Amino acid sequence: MIISHDLGTTGDKATLVDETGRVLAAVTETYDTDFGLRGKAEQDADAWWRAVCAATRRLVDAHPEALDQIEGVSFSGQMMGAVLLDAEGRPVRPAIIWADTRSVAQTGSLIDEIGMERAYAITGHRLNPTYSLSKVMWVRDNEPEAFARTRHVVLAKDYVVHRLTGAIVTDPSDASSTNAYDQSAQDWSDDLFAAAGLDRGLFPEIAPSTTIAGTVTAEAARETGLREGTPVVLGGGDGPMAALGAGVLDATCGAYAYLGSSSWVSLAADAPLHDPGMRTMTFNHVVPGQFVPTATMQAGGASLEWIVSTLAPGIEDRYANLLGGAAEVSASEDGLYFLPHLLGERSPYWNPRARAVFAGLARHHGPAHMTRAVLEGVAFNLYTGLRAFTENGASIEHVDAIGGAANAGVLLRIFADVWGVPVRRRELVDEATSLGAAIVGGVGTGMFDSFEIARKFAENRAEERPEPETHQRYAREYDVFMDAYRRLEPWFDTL
């Protein structure tokens, strides 16, 4: 058996998976995010550790017979953040997570030094405040005392691996989310570190995702309830790990959409996919030799969570009530649009100053219309990424949906009609990322022979097919949606 952890934005999901890929149990421990002015988004890295300890103990206490059968622990983690550690491996300040966009000035400095096109060619990503490199620069420039004590920079799952084993190491998938990784050289980029004015030695050794980083120490065993000496497999970033859990191993597997707090559309390829318009980015896969071209929006499921919490606070079955109403009304067809940029935006605009907007509100619009507009806005925004893939040679015949929001049937119906391809719901929409981590853990410990086992685990349970006439109508409304952003972009700069 493997215990896999998915360190997400809102909590840690711990999953117990057996050698057949069957999820025996899953528990979640939540933690808070400190959102603040000018794009602040931070979390307590030790809250991640406490969540991992609590979730592991809950699994072990509920299944004591499994303790002696656990062959390893593996991780998936939120990407693009920065955990700054001192010489003792302790955080010098709260972790800066992916959603933080305060490092606009530092990103501008990087662009001036190396150029956006050159950086994109090296890393497969735009230079942007959401990435790790500029976040570390921001700490250096704004918190010199904390930076002076910094000896290591790691990402979320790396910190928990360190707490379990004492190792400081990362993997290619997470490294490729930092804006500091050269995908051709498969190593840290000396050019990016020189442009940033940072010491390459701050960032850890890079090892394959299936690497056994170490074993559970005596201290970690006391805190987690695991047996001392249990192997700890490094794991990878949540985007590539979600691809694996969705059965997307290579270019033959189609595309998938992840519908979590941030949301993305992605596929697998045997080489980075560079979009001339730089609308998309490419991460390293956790599968060696593979890559995952991706278009990520900052607030996908977060937009749905926000509108439900805003319109129906404290109401029982609020999701079902609002989504049910949204299925019965129109939004963009009725002139109502939502630009879903609550946290700035990555794909396709890469604009941290972008903000969410309802455009076209009229007196007769109510909660159902507004909820429908949010769902359509998320679909329109992700559609831009899918178009970028196909315009650059990818073939997309269907999209498999995973993540919590994939349980919303009305959302999948809207996606299918907007995107013009069938959208399928996976069997384990909530556990797909944890399952990916379990597969990596199983390959690392020898419980699974290869990554190919992921094809067996990825089963479809529902499918929404597009209505051609509705897709044609949505194509016209998509153009209006895109035009709204173009017109508002200069105004965002004045906010």
First-last CA distance in the chain: 52
| Mean pLDDT confidence for 307-316 | 86
Task: Give the sign of the dihedral formed by CA 367, CA 369, CA 373, CA 379.
Answer: positive
Tell me the two tokens of residue 86: 């001192």
- Expressed in percent and rounded to 5, the helix, strand and coil fractions of the chain are 45, 20, 35
Tell me the two tokens of residue 166: 């004492």
**With 90 as the cut, is the pLDDT of residue 259 above it?**
no
Q: What's the mean per-residue pLDDT of the chain? A: 93
Tell me the two tokens of residue 489: 């972009």
Contact residues for 393 (Cβ-Cβ < 8 A; gap 6+): 273
What pLDDT is attached to residue 405? 74
**With 90 as the cut, is the pLDDT of residue 313 above it?**
no
pLDDT (tens digit per residue) in 32-71: 999 998 889 999 999 999 999 999 999 989 888 888 889 9
Confidence of residue 216 (pLDDT cuts 50, 70, 90): very high
DSSP string, 165-195: HS--EE-HHHHTTTT-EETTTTEE-HHHHHH
What pLDDT is attached to residue 147? 98
- In three-state secondary structure terms, 74 is strand
- On the 0-12 / 13-18 / 19+ scale of CB atoms within 10 A, 245 is buried
Burial 43-65 (b: 16+ CB within 10 A, else e): bebebbbebbbbbbbbbbeeeee
Short-list 446, 452, 433, 455, CA closest to 210:
446
What pLDDT is attached to residue 430? 66
Give the span between the Cα atoms of 15 and 468, in whole angstroms.
40
Confidence of residue 83 (pLDDT cuts 50, 70, 90): very high
What pLDDT is attached to residue 432? 76
DSSP string, 34-55: EE-GGG-EEE-HHHHHHHHHHH
Task: Give the sign of the dihedral formed by CA 197, CA 198, CA 199, CA 200.
Answer: negative
DSSP string, 411-431: HHHHHHHHHTS-EEEETTTTT
Q: Length of the chain, please?
A: 495
Confidence of residue 428 (pLDDT cuts 50, 70, 90): low
What pLDDT is attached to residue 191? 97
Cis peptide, bond prior to residue 172, ω within 30 of zero: no
Residue 120 bridge partners (DSSP)? none
Confidence of residue 254 (pLDDT cuts 50, 70, 90): confident
Q: Which fold has domain 2-234?
A: Nucleotidyltransferase; domain 5 (3.30.420)
- In three-state secondary structure terms, 109 is helix
- Would you say 160 and 223 are in contact if contact means Cβ atoms under 8 Å apart? no
Report pTM.
Answer: 0.86
Contact residues for 490 (Cβ-Cβ < 8 A; gap 6+): none
The answer regarding whether domain 247-495 maps to CATH 3.50.50.60 reads no
**Higher pLDDT pick, 165 / 398:** 165
**With 80 as the cut, is the pLDDT of residue 265 above it?**
yes
Percent of the chain with pLDDT over 70: 99
Where, residue-wise, is CATH 3.30.420.40 in the chain?
2-234, 247-495
Contact residues for 398 (Cβ-Cβ < 8 A; gap 6+): 254, 255, 421, 422, 423, 424
